Amino acid sequence: MNLLSATEAAALVRSGSTVASAGFVGCGHAEAVTAALERRFLAEGEPADLTLVYSAGQGDRGHRGVNHFGHAGMTACIVGGHWRSAPKLSSLALDERCAAFNLPQGVITQLYRAIAGGKPGVITKIGLHTFVDPKLDGAAINGIGRDAVMRGARRYVESVHLRGERWLLYPSFPIDVALIRGTSVDARGNLATEKEAFHHELLAIAQAARNSGGIVIAQARRIVQRHDNLHAVKVPGILIDHVVIAEHDDEHMMTFAEADNPAYYTSWRGPGHEPPRAAPAPLDVRKIVQRRALLELVARHPRVVNLGVGMPAGIGAVADEEGVSGFTLTVEAGPIGGTPADGLSFGASAYPEAVVDHPAQFDFYDGGGIDIAFLGLAELDVKGNVNVSLFGEGGQRIVSGVGGFINITQSAREVVFMGTLTAGGLEVEAGDGRLRIVREGRVAKIVPAVSHLTFDAGYVASLGRRILYVTERAVFELRGGVLTLVEVAPGIDVREQVLAHCAPGVRVAEPLRTMDPRIFDPAPMLTRERG
């Protein structure tokens, strides 16, 4: 084991390298090492012209995580899965200071395995009929990226035909530097994750870099003589070149929101030992949408459920509050069962039943393992298409990125999108089974055509999937290729408060149902406490 300081490790990264970084929002990112890389670049101008590769978003929407790479000259190309947590990378891309590509999160995490195994890449249908498709933007999200695709200089996705069908090939490429993180490392350099929320794609990244002739830098919290639990060792020492022990607590937090939370690495304790329910959250607009979405779980009786980042992640807490069970919540990071966390701890789950690695979770997802998935929406059009990857917010363009969105929406047997009908200052009040709009949002989310195609509703519907769109005041369903209003909240005027904020072309179902009034009452919806 070669023990280095973070500064010494950063000095090993050469200009022009392709750097793969592990992590998931605020979990498992090698913060000490990436912060040292940033300090070196600002002081010396090196390493420069890096290609940064990462599957899940890593950052706090501020300065931590892969935001450390967000400097012109330091990073020449970004190949990322989710971007919302790294606004410095988003600015770099939109200012045309680097080439920028957004690949599906599941594809990137599986691509590490393909690189490790010397395979030509990942062949999948994930990404067809979206901006990732070479028939559209080829995953490029800025002008420099699109120019590189047009010139053939950079192609991270290609269209191929196999057995009479069109597929996408995501080609392999060498990894020069792998940045990974675990809890402890032993005298032989074996890395364990006993107090991490999950173990990402640590093994795949390390193998990919090793077999590419690159180096693996592992950050840990402590050195142990030996590991007591063999099965906590996720990366063997034969793959690790250098080890950095984090010197400061804020460089090795469990997530970017929590220094430590034992619930994330403590397994489900069996019937009769469930953790106490959290105090009910206030009945705000997010909870209203989450409650209506929860009713889909009650009605559909799914076995396996996926919750996306943001508003959907809160369904787990609402389900606990209501005492609803009988299904298993999963997160693409790897946790199966338990209650998914939200915010900067998204990716973790409290008291999970099992934790698999990141690529394996997407193997299961891509093959159709999800019965129902709940995802967010930023922009929706009258054909039911959704944009969550590149859109305007507050008068600025934002690269949010797809994360696992494309994998999940193109594979789940049923998809429920969640969001408010309008954005930008929306305020509502709920009580006595009715909804009142206090202040309308400035931005209508239902537009004639989405500005960036992250979800092609017609294509997914052709696969036989049911597609639902839940907002605080109305529920829509894709019917016959057209967005159709099927439910409206009690107290809401259909024409003035729903259709007036939709682009022309939205249909109204007959009969038009009323949303369950229990959603709009602060009392529990489904438990006996309601009486």
User: How many C-beta atoms surround the C-beta of residue 515 within 10 A?
Assistant: 26
Pair 213, 252: CB distance under 8 Å:
no
Tokens of 225: 């003589």
Quote the CA–CA distance of 79 and 71 in Å, as a whole number.
15
Quote the CA–CA distance of 429 and 229 in Å, as a whole number.
51
Pair 336, 314: CB distance under 8 Å:
no
Helices (H), 70-136: 87-94, 105-116
Is the pTM higher than 0.85? The answer reads yes
Is the peptide bond prior to 448 cis by the omega test (within 30 degrees of 0)?
A: no
Tokens of 497: 């408060």
Hey, which residues does 242 pair with through a beta bridge?
Answer: 217
Alpha carbon of 485 to those of 161, 230, 277, 297, 299: distances in Å?
38, 54, 35, 20, 19
Quote the CA–CA distance of 487 and 292 in Å, as a whole number.
11
Give yes or no: 332 in active site. Answer: yes
Quote the CA–CA distance of 399 and 443 in Å, as a whole number.
18
DSSP assignments along 302-346, one per residue: -SEEEE-SSGGGGHHHHHHHHT--SSEEE-TTSEESSEE--GGGB
List the pLDDT tens digit at each of the 531 positions of the chain: 899 999 999 999 999 999 999 999 989 999 999 999 999 999 999 999 999 999 999 999 999 999 999 999 999 999 999 999 999 999 999 999 999 999 999 999 999 999 999 999 999 999 999 999 999 999 999 999 999 998 887 889 999 999 999 999 999 999 999 999 999 999 999 999 999 999 999 999 999 999 999 999 999 999 999 999 999 999 999 999 999 999 999 999 999 999 999 999 999 877 766 666 667 889 999 999 999 999 999 998 899 999 998 899 899 889 988 988 889 999 999 999 998 998 999 999 999 999 999 999 999 999 999 999 999 999 999 999 999 999 876 556 788 999 999 999 999 999 999 999 999 999 999 999 999 999 999 999 999 999 999 999 999 999 999 999 999 999 999 999 999 999 999 999 999 999 999 999 999 999 999 999 999 999 999 863 433
**Phi/psi of residue 152, nearest 5 degrees:** 80, 10
Tokens of 90: 């988003």
Pair 402, 82: CB distance under 8 Å:
yes
Tokens of 2: 């070669």
Pair 447, 379: CB distance under 8 Å:
yes
Residue range 44-89, pLDDT digits in tens = 999 999 999 999 999 999 999 999 999 999 999 999 999 999 999 9
Tokens of 150: 């047009």
Tokens of 218: 């592992």
User: How many C-beta atoms surround the C-beta of residue 477 within 10 A?
Assistant: 18
Pair 52, 78: CB distance under 8 Å:
yes
Integer-rounded Cα Rg, in Å, for the chain is 23
Chain-centroid distance, C-alpha 463: 23
Pair 492, 437: CB distance under 8 Å:
yes
Alpha carbon of 352 to those of 274, 275, 293, 317, 433: distances in Å?
11, 12, 22, 14, 34
Count of residues for the chain? 531
Instruction: State the catalytic residue, choosing from 332, 379, 472, 487.
Output: 332
Tokens of 112: 């590490």
Alpha carbon of 102 to those of 78, 287, 389, 458: distances in Å?
8, 30, 9, 22
Place of tokens 């919540």: 329
